[in-house]
């Protein structure tokens, strides 16, 4: 297929690479061109704008930063919807708002385009190994037409419903994760305060009823004071805000989610936005008087992380 | 070894059975004698009180309901510490307070007895299959002397530190679990409000970063409206209260834990104390107006569960 791919960052770069490897004809656009060079050297064509990338394609895929970026990429002056010969199907794989996904789908339909929302989980590792979970929302026929593309990029591909339902599913994932992250932070703060050896504690509890991927993945990093991202705190803050906004729209009260959003808001305002999500554990430990955690955070802030 | 085993309920019954099977000479006591009959028919001797059970034993093990029961079993009028020929080592495997564990250890030491706290996780299934995680606190020499008993009852046996450290480790486990339970409840409430199919959603997210044992174990039960215990809400409420008390004693603020404790307090006051912990998801869904959840809860309350 002829595919335009917008957003060749840490996630999109790997995902677009799998499409190239599968034999598709790729055109790429990225705000910073240097991040697309690896794909260009493998045969992808460069385009100067989303609109120019979109011209004459079968399918267009985007994975960019924030909902505002998604809006600009599609509806902006140089946006995809301004193309004179637009793709038949557009797929936004950014984690964005269900509401925007529905807005895009309506705007696309008015132009004879099918629009799909398909956010992912699995992070850079999942993107590189094509083992992402892809949560798909959109019209059934359109989804069927691009299914093989999803299978080139992910392992768990599930069609969750109409426009916006991919994004809603990703929000469910992020809410569940919020519980894991705050549970990890509070339990490790308790362990430290009680004078336990956290590594031994993790050995006792990781395979039991309280076990989680967050504990397995982040527990050892927290113990080493390694707060480099996996998944950026700033991106998680965005997702938590989306989930809370959508919940409010649905008259849904999620007190744990609001609590966790408050912590990440503070984390980002304290200059720790470039840290991994698990920096929450250090912030909570420092709040409780842990000198080790306080030193780690000072280092991270002064490094501009 | 000559072992007294106090508390032959759903956990203790299985655990004592493994000790019998390993060839130990067992004396048992339980508040309700009928729950000890299976062990007696396999050769265990019955004793009429904790004190009488304790006389002339090498080791005594208890796993009873609440911290008050533990106190009564050891310090009460007919308690273990009143024995004229007490065991060399006593082991309380109840989930109880770190503070009481230290008090018992001091009282034991004054009588020339070594006292170990060794709460478990893994539930009735883990007790039956001898795959429990056993979190051990106590004097190193005493722990070494009874290590083989732990290995007969559990798979993951870890010595966490001195008296009280087994209980502290169990509290870390329960705090971590609180995050999983509230994350599960809020994420499923969101899924229902958004009109998603929760079973499909779980398929998308269970193997990813938000995955947890709580989701894997309880997600399918919640979808079926099956709130029979695994682990009783009333016992979890006890544990959450212990963790909050100990945290307050250490000047530790755990806002998520306090939030979750409030939910379980309400659950138990609403007559759902005999339900499994995952009833939290139904309570939250009902709060948000789910008719299906409200109907399920009415049924549970009228069944006296």
Model pLDDT for residues B140-174, shown as the tens digit of each residue: 999 999 999 999 999 999 999 999 999 999 999 99
Facing B213 at nearest CB: one of A122, A195, A212: A212
User: Do B20 and B12 form a contact (C-beta atoms < 8 A)?
Assistant: no
- Strand intervals (E) in chain A: 2-6, 25-29, 45-46, 59-62, 89-92, 114-117, 120-121, 132-137, 154-161
Residue A246: list chain B partners with CB under 8 A. Answer: 190, 194
| Catalytically annotated residue among A2, A35, A155, A170 | A170
- Mind listing the pLDDT tens digit for each residue in A164-210? 999 999 999 999 999 999 999 999 999 999 999 999 999 999 999 99
Are A203 and A267 in the same domain? yes
Whole-prediction pTM: 0.96
For A183, which of B186, B252, B256 is closest by C-beta distance?
Answer: B256
- What is the pLDDT at residue B301? 85
Domain stops at, among B162, B196, B219: B162
B149 and B20, same structural domain? yes
Which two structure tokens, joined as six digits, stand for B231? 């682990």
Whether B215 and chain A come into contact, CB under 8 Å, resolves to yes
Task: Give CA–CA dist A237/B105, Å, rounded.
Answer: 46
Instruction: Please answer yes or no on whether B256 and A254 come within 8 Å at the CB atom.
Output: no
Cβ(B21)–Cβ(B28) below 8 Å: no
What confidence category does residue B303 fall into, taking pLDDT thresholds of 50, 70 and 90? confident
Whether residue A175 and residue B190 make contact (CB cut-off 8 A), yes or no, is: yes
B182 in the same domain as B128: no
Which of B176, B122, B247 has the alpha carbon at shortest distance from A180? B176
CA distance A231 to A275: 8
CB A237 within 8 A of CB A264: yes
Which of these, A261, A263, A181, A194, lies nearest to A221 by C-alpha position?
A181
Asked whether residue A305 carries a pLDDT value surpassing 60, the answer given is: no
B220 shares its domain with B127: no
Cβ distance B212 to A212 less than 8 Å, yes or no, reads yes
Residue B144 three-state SS = helix
Q: From the list A186, A201, A203, which residue is nearest B256 (CB)?
A: A186
- Residue A268 contacts by C-beta under 8 Å, 6 or more apart in sequence? A233, A234, A237
Cα B137 off chain centre by: 16
- Given A104, A139, A162, the domain boundary residue is A162
Give me the pLDDT at residue A304, please.
60
List the Cα angle A84/A89/A92 in 5-degree steps: 105
Are B279 and B233 in contact by the 8 Å Cβ rule? The answer is: yes
Q: Are residues A128 and A173 in the same domain?
A: no
Residue A113 is part of which domain span?
A: 2-162
pLDDT at A60: 98
pLDDT band at B230; cut points 50, 70, 90: confident
**pLDDT for position A7:** 98
Q: Quick check: B1 pLDDT over 70?
A: yes
Q: Which of B180, B182, B190 is nearest to B288 (CA)?
A: B190
B201 CB contacts (<8 Å, ≥6 apart)? Answer: A160, A169, A172, B191
* Helices within A22-160 (DSSP H only): 37-41, 50-54, 67-75, 98-110, 123-128, 140-153
Q: What pLDDT digit, counting tens, does each position of B50-109 carry?
A: 999 999 999 999 999 999 999 999 999 999 999 999 999 999 999 999 999 999 999 999
Contacts of B94 (CB under 8 A, 6+ apart): B7, B62, B63, B64, B65, B66, B67, B69, B70, B119
Same domain, B294 and B244: yes
Q: What's the pLDDT at B304?
A: 60
Q: Do B172 and A181 count as a contact with CB atoms less than 8 A apart?
A: no
d(CA B166, CA A204): 10
| Model confidence pLDDT, tens digit, residues A204-248 | 999 999 999 999 999 999 999 999 998 899 999 999 999 999 999
CA distances from B249 to A59, A190, B166 (A): 60, 11, 17
Contact residues for B135 (Cβ-Cβ < 8 A; gap 6+): A204, B118, B119, B120, B121, B158, B160, B165, B166, B167, B169, B170, B173
Q: Which residues contact A70 (CB under 8 A, 6 or more apart)?
A: A62, A64, A92, A94, A96, A100, A104
Catalytic residue selected from B170, B200, B234, B253:
B170
The reply to whether B39 and B150 lie within a common domain is yes
pLDDT tens by residue, A34-72: 999 999 999 999 999 999 999 999 999 999 999 999 999
The pLDDT of residue B42 is above 70: yes
Arithmetic mean of pLDDT, B283-293: 91
Q: What is the pLDDT of residue B163?
A: 98
Please check the confidence at residue B276 and state whether its pLDDT lies above 90. yes
Judgement on whether residues A60 and A115 belong to the same structural domain of the protein: yes
**B110-136 in b/e burial notation, b at 16+ Cβ within 10 A?**
eeebbbbbbbbbbbeebbbebebbbbb
State chain B's mean pLDDT as an integer: 96
Shared-domain flag, residues A63 and A106: yes
Q: Which of A162, A178, A209 is at the close of a domain?
A: A162
- Residue B177 pLDDT exceeds 60: yes
Could you tell me the CATH number of the domain that includes residue A139?
3.40.50.720
- Please give the radius of gyration of chain A, using alpha carbons only, rounded to the nearest integer: 20
- Catalytic residue list contains A2: no
B172 shares a domain with B23? no
- What does DSSP assign to residue B189? H
The length of chain A, given as a count of residues: 305
Contact of B3 with B58, CB cutoff 8 Å: yes
Please give the mean pLDDT across all residues of chain A. Answer: 96
Please judge whether B246 and A194 are an interchain contact, meaning their C-beta atoms are less than 8 angstroms apart: yes
> How many domains does chain B contain in total?
2
Distance between alpha carbon A183 and the CA centroid of its chain, in Å? 21
A278 touches B at CB < 8 Å:
no
Q: Does B76 touch chain A (CB under 8 A)?
A: no
Residue B292 pLDDT: 87
Q: Is the pLDDT of residue A303 over 80?
A: no
Q: Is B252 on the interface with A (CB under 8 A)?
A: yes
Rounded CA-CA distance B69/B91 in Å is 14
| Same-domain check for residues B17 and B99 | yes
Q: What is the mean pLDDT of residues A274-280?
A: 96
Q: Burial, A128: exposed, middle or buried (Cβ in 10 Å; 0-12, 13-18, 19+)?
A: middle
Regarding whether B7 and B156 lie in a shared domain, the answer is: yes
Residue A298: is it exposed, middle or buried by C-beta count within 10 angstroms (0-12/13-18/19+)?
Answer: exposed
| Share of residues in chain B with pLDDT > 90 (%) | 93
Contact between A85 and A62 under an 8 Å Cβ cutoff? The reply is no
* CATH code at position B265: 1.10.1040.10
CB-nearest to B191 from A172, A204, A260 is A172
Cross-strand partners of B276: B232
Report the first-to-last Cα separation within chain B, whole angstroms: 40
Non-local CB neighbours of A120 within 8 Å, separated by 6+ positions: A11, A63, A93, A95, A126, A127, A132, A133, A134, A135, A153, A154, A170
Region B163-188: mean pLDDT is 98
Q: Given 3-state DSSP classes, what are the helix, strand and coil percentages for chain B, each rounded to the nearest 5?
A: 55, 15, 30
Give the pairing type, strands B59-62 and B45-46. Answer: unpaired
pLDDT at residue B198, as a whole number: 96
């Amino acid at each position: 297929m002829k595919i335009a791919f917008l957003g060749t960052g840490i996630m999109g770069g790997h995902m677009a690479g799998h499409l190239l490897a599968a034999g598709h004809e790729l055109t790429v656009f990225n705000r910073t061109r240097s991040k697309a060079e690896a794909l260009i050297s493998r045969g992808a064509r460069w385009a100067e704008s989303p609109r120019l990338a979109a011209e004459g394609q079968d399918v267009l895929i985007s994975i960019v930063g924030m909902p505002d970026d998604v809006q600009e990429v599609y509806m902006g002056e140089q946006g995809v919807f301004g193309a004179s010969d637009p793709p038949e199907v557009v797929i936004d794989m950014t984690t964005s708002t269900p509401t925007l996904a529905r807005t895009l789908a309506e705007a696309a339909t008015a132009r004879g385009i099918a629009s799909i929302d398909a956010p992912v989980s699995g992070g850079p590792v999942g993107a590189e190994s094509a083992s992402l979970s892809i949560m798909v929302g959109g019209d059934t026929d359109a989804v069927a037409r691009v299914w093989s593309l999803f299978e080139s990029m992910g392992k768990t591909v599930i069609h969750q419903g109409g426009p916006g339902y991919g994004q809603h599913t990703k929000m469910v994932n992020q809410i569940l994760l919020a519980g894991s992250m705050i549970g990890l932070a509070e339990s490790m703060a308790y362990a430290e305060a009680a004078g336990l050896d956290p590594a031994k504690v993790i050995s006792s509890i990781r395979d039991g009823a309280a076990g989680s991927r967050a504990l397995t993945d982040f527990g050892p990093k927290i113990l080493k004071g390694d707060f480099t991202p996996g998944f950026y705190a700033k991106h998680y803050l965005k997702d938590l805000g989306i989930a809370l906004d959508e919940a409010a729209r649905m008259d849904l009260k999620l007190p744990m989610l609001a609590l966790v959003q408050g912590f990440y808001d503070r984390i980002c305002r304290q200059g720790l936005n470039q840290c991994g999500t698990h920096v929450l554990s250090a912030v909570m430990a420092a709040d409780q008087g842990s000198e080790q955690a306080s030193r780690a955070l000072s280092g991270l802030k002064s490094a501009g992380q």
